[in-house]
Amino acid sequence: MINLLLRSSTLSLLIFFFACGTKTQEKRLNVILILTDDQGFGDLRIHGNDSINTPTLDQLGTESARFDRFYVSPLCAPTRASILTGRYHLRTGTVSVSNGLETMAAAEYTLAELFKDNDYQTGIFGKWHNGQHYPNHPLAQGFDEFTGFLAGHWSNYFDTHVEKNGKIYKAEGFLPDVLTDEAMAFMEKNKAQPFFTYLAYNTPHSPHQVPAEYFDVYKKMGLSDELAAIHGMVSNIDANIGRLLAKVKELGLEENTLIIFLTDNGPNGQRFNGNMKGIKGSVNEGGVRVPSFWKLPGKIIPGLKEIPGAHIDILPTLVDLLELNFEENLPIDGISLAPTLRGEQQQVSRPIFSHVAFLDKALNSRPGAIRKDSLLLTLLPTGIELYDLKNDPGQQKDLSSVLPDQTLSLTNEYQAWWQEVTKGIEMNRPIPISNQSPQILLAGYEATFSGEIRFFEGHGWAQDWLTNWKNTADSISWELNVLDPGRYEVFLEYTANNDQVGSDLLLRIGNSEIPFTITQAFEGQLIPSPDRVPRKEAPEKTWKTIPIGILDLKKGEDKLVLTSKKIASGGIGDIFSIRLIPTKQN
């Protein structure tokens, strides 16, 4: 009798533990977040664009909960910061897209850190754009693996050099294909445990590069080179997402994997965009309304969702939908859309704010916008406009003079929000120096300079370099914030022809300095870029790297200055970067 009772108790316990284990496993769903770069709402056939072929995304859209109105920021880095944190980008320190203003504060709690704290494996593949240096690097922000690039764009999409877990390597092939391969390998490696895969494609952002098999289809339709390239890049994305979804099915994870697809802002040019006003960089509908698909068989109810959502809602929705452990140490701006995704009734009346800042160090409250219910108020440098999106989705009729009370109320609400989210923002962004990084890139495009020195391309965007240094009165400098004091080996990346050899330079910071002479000619080569239309970005180029000495860096903020005592007859040449590597003494 006792043995029978013991066997019965043991069986009960096994059933209990099995049930608990099954329930726990059900909660630990995999998540794949797919984000494309500069793909507009209208760059999908499912959204009415008959000239583009997107069969995979169209099918995903029909199988997903699809938000009719889903809002992001007008530019890419701000959108990414809000997706990662559930907070308006200005709270996170991310203001714009370059000059350090793209950097998200290291103290922010990211989606990757959330998933890590819930025992997930985390990987990002593609574009980061929220800080190039430790502790703002993705590997310091919760990701176990990273393959891609840190800046706002990349100069070459074929056989280019990207970073993989802290090391630079040459990625053979078309970059979106490579990123998809890396994401699939990550999922296969972690198929037995929950994973979070953040696949952040670099396309259809310029430069306009795409394999012929995708470009030629659209040229035969009579499209311009630019539109054929953009549509081709989107079709390539579509094909890669098809490969990714097939891999999920092959791994037997289809029923246990949440797929999220969205884009980071409006289209990067004038093209079909659902008859909306504005493109990338605009706070109008066309600049911030994007696709948003959520698929999870058996748990998310497919269909068009009328409730407006936003990038700030992704983190709280995932916490709710996946029942993740989460402690809100910083204020979350978003709401959970999980009830809507589960097919429940959800009534929401809340403002959704937008703001765009370019590279002006003086932060201004405009352009900005507030969306509340069916009303959209835009605050532009030229004035304030009010639209009823329900009856006027194309923003044809400004109602600000007709509805003065609503205009004033929404203006005041926006200004109150602005004052709150911009508290404590520091626009000066010294480069953090941490010995946690295997090397620190002090890029030319992150420097300030004087005299006739200029950027090669002109804008000083990612991968641009400094040229035309011909005067000893000129200099180049980098503002640093040394987090980890100590000794750092220093390397120079440069090119110089025979007439530029022999220049004497001095690199100094505080009481530490390195005099050195450029003694070797290296002219470098512009790497062929198969652009379909003339590019705006700097090209990819080969550089010579030479060691120049060791600097002793003291803790705190200081300026690293590069000057010249003697300049060769042809000038100093081109400067791409100074690189710092922590010594073993650190």
**Is the CB of residue 165 less than 8 Å from the CB of residue 143?**
no
The pTM assigned to this predicted structure is: 0.94
- CA–CA distance, 26 with 316 (Å, rounded to integer): 19
440: tokens are 């620190």
The count of other CB atoms within 10 Å of the CB of residue 390 is 9
- Distance (Å) of CA 327 to CA 109, 137, 143, 297, 330: 10, 23, 19, 28, 9
- CA–CA distance, 396 with 168 (Å, rounded to integer): 49
List the alpha helices (DSSP H) in 72-169: 76-85, 89-92, 111-117
At residue 359, the pLDDT reads: 79
- Distance (Å) of CA 114 to CA 32, 147, 148, 322, 335: 15, 20, 21, 12, 16
The count of other CB atoms within 10 Å of the CB of residue 406 is 16
- CA–CA distance, 201 with 207 (Å, rounded to integer): 13
Give SS3 for 339: helix
Estimate the crossing angle of helix 76-85 against helix 314-321, to 10 degrees. Answer: 30
Place of tokens 């220049």: 503
**Is the CB of residue 101 less than 8 Å from the CB of residue 445?**
no
- CA–CA distance, 124 with 111 (Å, rounded to integer): 11
- CA–CA distance, 180 with 159 (Å, rounded to integer): 15
The count of other CB atoms within 10 Å of the CB of residue 564 is 21
Beta bridge partners of 127: 149
Beta bridge partners of 526: 541
Give SS3 for 71: strand
- CA–CA distance, 455 with 465 (Å, rounded to integer): 6
Choose among 132, 126, 199, 135: nearest CA to 157.
Answer: 126
**Is the CB of residue 370 less than 8 Å from the CB of residue 350?**
no
Give SS3 for 111: helix
Choose among 162, 103, 155, 164: nearest CA to 129.
Answer: 103
Residues near 555 by beta carbon (within 8 Å), at least 6 away in sequence = 482, 483, 484, 485
Place of tokens 């022809």: 497
Q: Taking the chain, what is the end-to-end CA distance rounded to the nearest angstrom?
A: 69
532-555: pLDDT as tens digits: 999 999 999 999 999 999 999 999
559: tokens are 């300026």
The type of residue at 54 is T
Choose among 153, 198, 148, 152: nearest CA to 175.
Answer: 148
Give SS3 for 481: strand
The count of other CB atoms within 10 Å of the CB of residue 110 is 24
254-309: pLDDT as tens digits: 999 999 999 999 999 999 999 999 999 999 999 999 999 999 999 999 999 999 99
Choose among 341, 261, 249, 262: nearest CA to 299.
Answer: 341
DSSP string, 224-264: -HHHHHHHHHHHHHHHHHHHHHHHHHHTT-GGGEEEEEEES
Give pLDDT < 70 ranges for the chain. Answer: 1-27, 361, 586
Give per-residue burial for 411-437: e unless 16+ CB within 10 Å, then b: beebeebbeebeeeeeeebbbbbbbeb
Catalogue all structural domains in the chain, each as residue range(s) with its CATH number.
15-344 (3.40.720.10), 431-582 (2.60.120.260)
Residues near 3 by beta carbon (within 8 Å), at least 6 away in sequence = none
Beta bridge partners of 78: none
- Distance (Å) of CA 47 to CA 123, 143, 204, 226, 270: 30, 33, 17, 20, 16
- Name the CA radius of gyration of the chain, rounded: 26
